[in-house]
Structure 1
Amino acid sequence: MDPSEINEINDSPIEEVRLTVPTTDDPTLPCLTFRTWILGIVSCAMLSFLNQFFGYRQNALSITSVSAQILVLPLGKLMAASLPTKAIAIPGTKWSFSMNPGPFNLKEHCLITIFANAGTTGVYAIGTVTIVKAFYHRRLNPVAAMILTHSTQLLGYGWAGIFRKYLVDSPYMWWPSNLVQVSLFRALHDVEIRKKGGLTRLQFFIIVLVLSFSYYLIPNYLFPSITALSVACWIWKDSVTAQQIGSGLHGLGVGSFALDWATVAGFLGSPLATPGFAIVNMLVGFVIILYVVMPIAYWSNFYNAKRFPIISPHVFDSHGAPYNISAILIEKSFEFNRQGYDDYSKVNLSIFFVLTYGLSFANLAATVSHVALFYGRTIWQQTKSSFQDKFGDVHTRLMRKNYDPVPQWWFHSLLILVVAMSMFACEGFGRQLQLPYWGVILSMALAFVFTLPVGVITATTNQQAGLNVISEMIIGYMYPGKPLANTTFKTYGTISMSQAILFLSDFKLGHYMKIPPKSMFLVQLVGTVVSSLVYFGTAWWLLTTVENICDTAKLPDGSPWTCPGDDVFYNASIIWGVVGPLRMFGKLGLYPAVNYYFLFGLLAPVPVWFFARKYPEKKWIRLINVPILISGTGAMPVAKAVNYVCWFAVGLFFNLYVYRRFKAWWARHNYILSAGLDAGVAFMATLCYFTLQFNGIGGPEWWGLEVSDHCPLANCPTAPGIRVQGCPVFN
């Protein structure tokens, strides 16, 4: 046998893992320490609060666990240097613990980061709570809302427990995204000596954080208009077409830009953490969709596009007016009023929103097709090996040798408890959530069926398909006319699978870092409960204290509480829940042709695969990723064109130019720069709100106070005879 083959058997069959993950372990290192619990819970709660706090704002910044990962390292070392080492006995038991069991170690740091991860993923069920209170203006029992929040987040543990043998223990399920975290942990714990005239990573992080914190006072409070600047609107103040083309918030964003990190990273995450080839794929897709397909579709008047704004997530009637939802909803039962609908109007969408749904259909199909063509044989071989392999690689052997596994009954008991909670939330409280018990069971069956195949794809290719469109469509056909039933079904089906994959990914990170499985389970469970409580509490507090939150027509100038994500969630509840897919994309609707996007997505990866096989020497062909191309505008219309333009500019500069010309600097500082910018923005926004905005102290009254790009005509229709307030009427 070749020596290299022997090394692969002794180590890992995956080269990237062999190059990144150490094959040693020290089982004597303490893990669930006092420091782990304190720093972990605080990190989880802080990130949960900040992410939900930002979730309702114009630029919904998502703060990742990397900020906590970097920040807790000096705090952990400070606690190790200052806390008493004497053991503390727990009264009435034989147990004792030490607040300071020794030097702050890598395993504590990993567990704290996994704690923090629970606070960064968001709580999808909050969208249902928000649209009920802020958009439909109906009452919702807070206990029912809280149970919904917790049960949807915890349900994934059951699927994770069932499939962990195949998706965690198997060396062929290697979860590529975790290798970045492993590399960062090793870099942070390497002994670092500051070079003369240079900076340590921590010093660099602190400098970036202070500068970001100081600067964000300007776009957040003094000059909000620099969050989106559209040059075309300054030049052509009376031209609807020019503003449609140039507006970064309501149009195509040609010539728009921003001087605000929250605009760059708000919806798409930090571009500094996205590989260069993925940015290029997204850029190509963005240009094709927004600057080729969209203008052709709009100015050719497809689906009466000119009757409506060029880009809008809202629903309209046949006359171009905002759709009167009360006309098609029965107030008492909160259900679809068919007679009212027939007497009023079919639901119309802006051409971009139609295209968005079509592309979401195509992306789901393209993901399946792309993975099957490019990775199908590999995935099948690795999956067979994972089911047959009894011993695994060196990492699995070390874990089995040194630590007890999590008992399976822990997962099963939690699953039974959460299923009971889910049934109670939906069937109890006067069935406010509208979803009957069979809908809960069906949503869980959907998640159960898809967790393993989607988990295999994610664990081997780093691509995760979502179930939101499919779940909306299924319940929309089966149980139409009930908006909350639709969103609740979507949440249970989509998020329990996503949470299962998140838990499994974290389990694999702990597997690589040699964390005791029981410690991993406890940290994830407590982190999920804490994050759910904080997300729900923050959302309920803001929904009940911020006047006119999410209502852009009534919010004062400069108010950031525009809820762009929840606005889209609300309109989706109308499309799929109230009206239903049959009257939107079926034979009774205006858009049945959109279903052909499924076929387009299924076939689109085939030419790329064919040419990649025919010309294997041209490696650039394999870098063409059709699902990423199709999702080039995937975050729109929640994100705006200006978010994409700025994201591409920053991403291409750092991950192509700086990466190639200054690779040593990039490797040392890139991720830390991203974390410092995120943290500075988060701390200043929070400080501003609690010290000034919460007390009614707004910024100075002037032109730049508006959270707007000053393109009022970009939202105007251009069809003859359509009358909209503030817009010219075309003849």
Structure 2
Amino acid sequence: MAAEAVKRTPSATDEKSYFVKGDVESSTQEAETDENVVLQNEREIATHVISVDDDPSLNPWTLRAFFIGLGLSAFGGSLAQIYYFKPQTILVSSMFLAILSYIIGFAMETFIPRRGLFRYLNPGPFNKKENAFIIIMSSAAANSALATEVLAVQRLYYNITPNAGSSIFLLFSSQLLGYGIGGMMRGILLYPSKMLYPGVLPLLSMFDALYRDGFEARRKLKVFYVVFAAIFIWEIFPEWIFPLLTGFSIFCLAAPNNAAVSRVFGGSNGNEGLGLLSLCFDWQYISGGVNPMTIPLKAQLSSFIGCILCMVVFVAVFYTNIWDSQNFPFLAQLLFYENGTVYDQTLIMNSNYEVDPALVAEQGLPYYAGTWIINLLSTNLGLAATFTHLLLWNKDDLRAAWSWMNMDTLRSWRANFDWKFWKHSGKREVPINIEEPRPTLPRDAEAGTFVTFVLSFIVGLVVIYKTNSTLPWWGFVIAVLLASVSILFFGALYAITGIALSIQTLVQMIAGYLHNGRPMANMFFVLYSYNTVSQALLLLGDLKIAQYAKLPPRAAFTAQIIGTLLGAVLNYVLMNSIIDSQREILLSVQGTNIWSGQQPQSYNSQAIAWGGLAHELFSTGQRYQWVPLSYLIGLVAPLPFWIIHRYWPKLRMDYSYTPIICVYIGVLCVGINSSILSYYAIAFLSQWWLRTRYPRWFMKYNYWVGAALDGGTQVMVFILSFAVQGAAGTAHLFPAWWGANQGGNYDRCLYI
């Protein structure tokens, strides 16, 4: 049994901390840790493996921190843009960036002299707050900015190449707008103790291990080095020499000329099939979106149920020929003519990039692949279910969301506002002797987020007119308002479960009816609404890292701004380079095992369908009417689970995250799907078997091994992308042999 938790006594350290009384990280600490305790949920992970101690003397503002942070930001920003053009959506691992920053920082501390000018690069021991500062900067950069998606679509499908100046300002404004809104909501979505952000807990656990116990940290680093080196070498095989390992399917090998087998059991190449019972040995795709060793078991269970339903529904829709599905590829993101050829969108638009009804009548209405329609339906189900799910299961957590809407709060905020945010210390004032304290923001962070919002809003307004986006000013305002409301609900779900849901289809639908006939306006509306939500969640996750690591808000905010701006510029440069060298592949339906245009393809087809033809395709009585009507079903989807749990709690319906189940019903609509079985096998091994049977090992090494696997893989992918896979020029594929079928699908399923 775990030792009894004891209350902390207020001290000078507490006064300098910026945590709220009642937060998990400031309320309890284990007097002694029983390493055999089984951690049941995210809260127990936080209270057992994250330290609450703070050393206010540690300084994050060092030249060394900026030097390492800028270097890793350049690496992460470049890698993120490479991943954007992969056949499966892949994220850069923050755990890996954190450990790499520690290794570099420790090396600089050890080998650089502390005298003369060198003392600026080595001011002393590399400390925890420097490391937190670096990881926040580099993780902010290590995201592909959605504005590059707009720019990529313009280049690929409209033959428009916006000038560099307007492109950069588009990137900056769209990336920082969410920071401003998210920062102003941190009192709701960051500081309450239930907002745990489980995705950052492994990172903080690692931080504590590195800086709390030198001997133990060195032992864990040895494990990290061994796993990192092993996976680094291993990834050469599935990524280049032996790509059959991306998806090993006994069914494909037994029936290499069967189309049905390819659709159901194939999955080693983009848009090939569902990957049922395939084995994947490529960690890049196993851990591409979410590391299976970090997400809590309850959320994993919900996504697994959704995946099983996805396979059943996809096969049923295709083989019963709903929406004429058999006329089109099984998995695809493009628009098609009824005969199955790719739809030429330029033939239905006039010179102002607006859809002309007369031209549409000549060409006919476009079609989607049936599986893509299921993806749209399931996404809408999940979005609507999120609202009901949170109101049923987490209404107390959300009640405070609207408490600020009163005159007293507004008057207090106006009285205390000071735009000279750089003159303040960065400490958040903590209320004392109050039973239910309301979090108060540090004055500089409060003003900084407000200024960021205002500047981003103004620049965004200018950019939509300078780039001929066809989005009017009032559409831009609605997009921002919609994003603000969405951040509240989906931010709470992300903070509680660790899984973020996309609102892209929702805002595309709204934009389609607001700006009918304007595909370009639809893209920009989505950029300033959906992307704003994504950026707000990124900011809040990073601020949670800062909160746990005791990094002052001003330092966290500065790191995020620098990383975001640098990353955006690198995204832009790499995007242009990859489009120049891989244009034909990016325009093809399936792409390759290495490169794919699936993301700009889906973004463009959604803009055409919703932005140009919303009434003709999605309104009541039209071909895809159930796509918007699915919102109504999603609103009631969580009710049966909640009712069953209320009357029969032993059935544990509280383990079911309805929004996640709904969204995952369409999750296999794109990309490389051969990793599904391997993903859930590893998730079960980590989050159930190791956590319950070997809790000591789980607490010490689980997250370290996960980070090492991500890190070694991503460094090798970065190297191979430029060395042999054509990220900046000609690709050099491995010579064809049985394990590298360069003329078809790597798992040897039929290429359809």
Q: Judge which range, 627-636 or 602-611, deviates more.
A: 627-636
CA drift at 1:457: 4.7
Paired position in structure 1 for 2:423: none
Trace 1:365-404 onto structure 2 (pairs within 5 A).
Answer: 365-380=384-399, 391-392=430-431
Structure 1 residues 457 and 569, CA, compared in 2 at 3 Å: closer, same or farther?
same
Trace 1:341-352 onto structure 2 (pairs within 5 A).
Answer: 341-352=360-371
Structure 1 residues 663 and 136, CA, compared in 2 at 3 Å: closer, same or farther?
farther
Give the whole-Å Cα distance in 1 for the aligned partners of 2:341 and 2:347: 13
Which of 71, 77, 85 in structure 2 is aligned with 1:56?
Answer: 85
2:503 is the counterpart of 1:467: yes
Which of 277, 283, 291 in structure 2 is aligned with 1:261?
Answer: 283
Residues 228 and 257, structure 1, Cα contact 8 Å, conserved in 2: yes
Paired position in structure 2 for 1:307: 327
Trace 1:120-131 onto structure 2 (pairs within 5 A).
Answer: 120-131=142-153
Structure 1 residues 393 and 308, CA, compared in 2 at 3 Å: closer, same or farther?
farther
Give the whole-Å Cα distance in 1 for the aligned partners of 2:644 and 2:601: 42
Q: Judge which range, 336-345 or 406-415, deviates more.
A: 406-415
User: What fraction of aligned residue pairs are identical, expressed as a percent?
Assistant: 23
2:6 is the counterpart of 1:12: no
Q: Judge which range, 144-153 or 372-381, deviates more.
A: 372-381
Which of 616, 625, 640 in structure 2 is aligned with 1:607?
Answer: 640
Paired position in structure 1 for 2:17: none
2:238 is the counterpart of 1:227: no
Q: Judge which range, 646-655 or 694-703, deviates more.
A: 694-703
Structure 1 residues 510 and 407, CA, compared in 2 at 3 Å: closer, same or farther?
closer
Paired position in structure 2 for 1:492: 528
Structure 1 residues 573 and 224, CA, compared in 2 at 3 Å: closer, same or farther?
farther
Aligned residues: 693
Q: Judge which range, 134-143 or 607-616, deviates more.
A: 134-143
Residues 370 and 605, structure 1, Cα contact 8 Å, conserved in 2: yes
Trace 1:75-90 onto structure 2 (pairs within 5 A).
Answer: 75-86=104-115
Which of 22, 32, 37 in structure 1 is aligned with 2:61?
Answer: 32
Residues 383 and 456, structure 1, Cα contact 8 Å, conserved in 2: no
Structure 1 residues 524 and 215, CA, compared in 2 at 3 Å: closer, same or farther?
same
Residues 169 and 396, structure 1, Cα contact 8 Å, conserved in 2: no
Give the whole-Å Cα distance in 1 for the aligned partners of 2:122 and 2:168: 36
Q: Deviations over 1:278-297 (max 9, x none)?
A: 22221111112212x23333
Which of 589, 593, 601 in structure 1 is aligned with 2:626?
Answer: 593
> Structure 1 length normalisation: TM-score?
0.86
Q: Deviations over 1:240-268 (max 9, x none)?
A: 333333222523323423231122123x3
Give the whole-Å Cα distance in 2 for the aligned partners of 1:466 and 1:496: 11
Structure 1 residues 473 and 98, CA, compared in 2 at 3 Å: closer, same or farther?
same
CA drift at 1:661: 2.9
Give the whole-Å Cα distance in 2 for the aligned partners of 1:175 and 1:260: 27
Give the whole-Å Cα distance in 2 for the aligned partners of 1:613 and 1:506: 36
Residues 379 and 457, structure 1, Cα contact 8 Å, conserved in 2: no
Give the whole-Å Cα distance in 2 for the aligned partners of 1:81 and 1:151: 40
Residues 175 and 508, structure 1, Cα contact 8 Å, conserved in 2: yes
Query: Structure 2: which amino acid aligns with 1:243?
Result: S
Give the whole-Å Cα distance in 2 for the aligned partners of 1:491 and 1:46: 24
Paired position in structure 2 for 1:708: 745
Give the whole-Å Cα distance in 2 for the aligned partners of 1:684 and 1:178: 24
Residues 291 and 706, structure 2, Cα contact 8 Å, conserved in 1: yes
Which of 381, 393, 399 in structure 2 is aligned with 1:362?
Answer: 381
Paired position in structure 2 for 1:334: 353
Give the whole-Å Cα distance in 2 for the aligned partners of 1:642 and 1:689: 21
Residues 404 and 516, structure 1, Cα contact 8 Å, conserved in 2: no
Q: Deviations over 1:489-523 (max 9, x none)?
A: 10111112322232233223323322222222211
2:599 is the counterpart of 1:562: no
Give the whole-Å Cα distance in 2 for the aligned partners of 1:103 and 1:43: 20
2:734 is the counterpart of 1:699: yes
Which of 252, 259, 263 in structure 2 is aligned with 1:244?
Answer: 263
Query: Structure 1: which amino acid aligns with 2:303?
Result: M
CA drift at 1:553: 7.2
CA drift at 1:19: 5.1
Residues 247 and 709, structure 1, Cα contact 8 Å, conserved in 2: no
RMSD: 3.5
Residues 35 and 100, structure 1, Cα contact 8 Å, conserved in 2: yes
Any idea what SS the aligned residue of 1:193 has?
A: helix
Structure 1 residues 54 and 396, CA, compared in 2 at 3 Å: closer, same or farther?
farther
CA drift at 1:353: 1.2
Structure 1 residues 71 and 485, CA, compared in 2 at 3 Å: closer, same or farther?
same
Residues 371 and 666, structure 2, Cα contact 8 Å, conserved in 1: no
Structure 1 residues 709 and 211, CA, compared in 2 at 3 Å: closer, same or farther?
same
Any idea what SS the aligned residue of 1:349 has?
A: coil
Residues 316 and 349, structure 1, Cα contact 8 Å, conserved in 2: yes
Give the whole-Å Cα distance in 1 for the aligned partners of 2:276 and 2:76: 34
Give the whole-Å Cα distance in 2 for the aligned partners of 1:394 and 1:522: 32
Query: Structure 2: which amino acid aligns with 1:278?
Result: A
CA drift at 1:217: 1.7
Q: Deviations over 1:331-361 (max 9, x none)?
A: x322212112122222222221111111111
Q: Which runs of 5+ in 1 are unaligned?
A: 90-96, 716-731
Any idea what SS the aligned residue of 1:257 has?
A: coil
CA drift at 1:645: 2.9
